[in-house]
Amino acid sequence: MLKVYGIKNCNTVKKSLTWLETNKIPYEFYDVKKQVLNESILDSWMNNIPTPYNWEILINKTGMTWRKLPETKKKMKLDINKAIKLILENSSVMKRPVILKNNFNYWV
């Protein structure tokens, strides 16, 4: 069964869930606003992103959450550890959804 991580009211997540339901693909949904992400989960995701991408794909720099961040946060040089901390502080900055099948990441 797929595991879908996202925010229930996110349009991209809604479209993804609708597609899964239309195609009768079973999934478990995890709302990252309500269920706590942790460093271990994020570290695993970031270190298993398929080539040619890297961990930076998990940060949504075009969304409203990113735009509302203080300039100091937006201008800081991100690495994996800082990105994990940023997502743990504000889960809405994460690109969504993250879809896992057998603990491997799939990106929508």
**Residues linked to residue 99 through DSSP beta bridges, in sequence order:** 4, 106
Residue 71 bears catalytic tag: no
97's tokens: 């959804």
| Helix-then-strand count for the chain, H and E | 5, 4
DSSP state of 94: B
The catalytic position among 4, 10, 58, 84 is: 10
Burial status of residue 3 (CB atoms within 10 A of its CB: 0-12, 13-18, 19 or more): middle
Write out the catalytic residue numbers. Answer: 10
